Amino acid sequence: MHPDPTTLEPVDYLVLGHLSCDITPSGLKLGGTVSYASLTARALGYRPGIVTAWAGEIPLDPLEGIQVFSIPTSRSTTFENIYTSSGRKQVIHHQASPINYGLVPELWKHSSIIHLGPIAQELEITSETGLSPSFLGLTPQGWMRTWDEAGNVTHHCCPDLMPLISVAGAMVISIEDVEGDEEKIEMLAMECKVLAVTEGFAGARLYWNQDMRRFNAPEIEEVDATGAGDIFATAFFIRLLTTRDPWEAARFATLIASHSVKRVGLDGIPTSEEINAALMEVV
């Protein structure tokens, strides 16, 4: 944790959003897009940094070696997933302080890739962020959910994302984020420079330059899909910046994310063997 900006070192993959405490049958686990994204970026050879709001309920041991700049908050964002016969019910028990773009350390505002990864509406939807990366990537899941007074989470599929879409290099959503609404996907595809839609075991589809292609995932036995979308997004953003080829980036990210479901939670971060295999595979 780095409360003092003067102690920070440069990063080239900066991710903004809440770390989360996930309530599981075996206790509290570390989660949140920023966890999966930063660890994936490091596995792909980048120097990651996190800007978050974190109260320290559990140790950040899984993020050892990753710079974390935390805004003070009394409680960390806390989610619980309850599985029922009618599907998954998600409850938010606590919400950490919002993240003001003006609090991002000056040294990090010009990182090569900046990834906005909200999970609980903690970031403002505005083009006036004061950030100037080489590439801005969006995973808007946290803007696409809302909750009632009891914390029961529901979808909020129609936020006006245009201020950010207009300045972003690419956006990644899951089919669940829009509840499978194809009209919403088409609308977003028209607004985004590049839009990737993940579809779980079915792989992903990519919209670019008024074209759409599907990328099938290999058949892999799923143990835990948590974080797979965040791993996909990070691999996609990095490969897109590297190759400037959205089709190649989607192919690579689909392979990387599919292997992540073989392991539980943050153990799903790609291994060097999986990364090398995905880079070498020819379609």
Give the pLDDT confidence of 131-167 residue by residue, as tens digits: 999 999 999 999 999 999 999 999 886 678 999 999 9
- Region 115-122: mean pLDDT is 97
Residue 49 in this model has a pLDDT that exceeds 90: yes
- CB burial string 56-71: b at 16+ within 10 A, e below: eebebebbeebbbbbb
Cα distances (angstroms) measured from residue 148 to each of 18, 85, 262: 19, 22, 34
What digits encode the pLDDT tens for the residues 261-282? 777 777 778 888 888 888 886 5
pLDDT value at residue 6: 77
Among candidate residues 253, 151, 142, 146, the one with its CA nearest the CA of residue 194: 253
Residue 61 in this model has a pLDDT that exceeds 90: yes
**Residue 89: CA atoms inside 13 Å, Cβ hemisphere, count?**
11
- Residue 278, helix vs strand vs coil: helix
Residue 3 in this model has a pLDDT that exceeds 70: no
pTM value? 0.93
Residue 1 in this model has a pLDDT that exceeds 70: no
Cβ atoms of 258 and 218 closer than 8 Å: yes
Residue ranges per domain, the chain? 5-280
- Residue 56, helix vs strand vs coil: coil
Among candidate residues 237, 190, 185, the one with its CA nearest the CA of residue 210: 190
Write down the mean pLDDT value for the chain.
91
Residue 88 in this model has a pLDDT that exceeds 80: no
What digits encode the pLDDT tens for the residues 233-268? 999 999 999 999 999 999 999 999 988 777 777 777
Q: How far apart are CA 47 and CA 45, in angstroms?
A: 7
Query: 3.20.20.140, 1.10.1030.10, 3.40.1190.20, 3.40.190.10: which CATH number matches 5-280?
Result: 3.40.1190.20
Cβ atoms of 179 and 155 closer than 8 Å: yes
**pLDDT band at residue 224 using 50, 70 and 90 as cut-offs:** low
Cα distances (angstroms) measured from residue 49 to each of 7, 17, 152, 174, 241: 13, 11, 31, 24, 18
pLDDT-wise least confident of 21-25, 172-176, 277-281 = 277-281
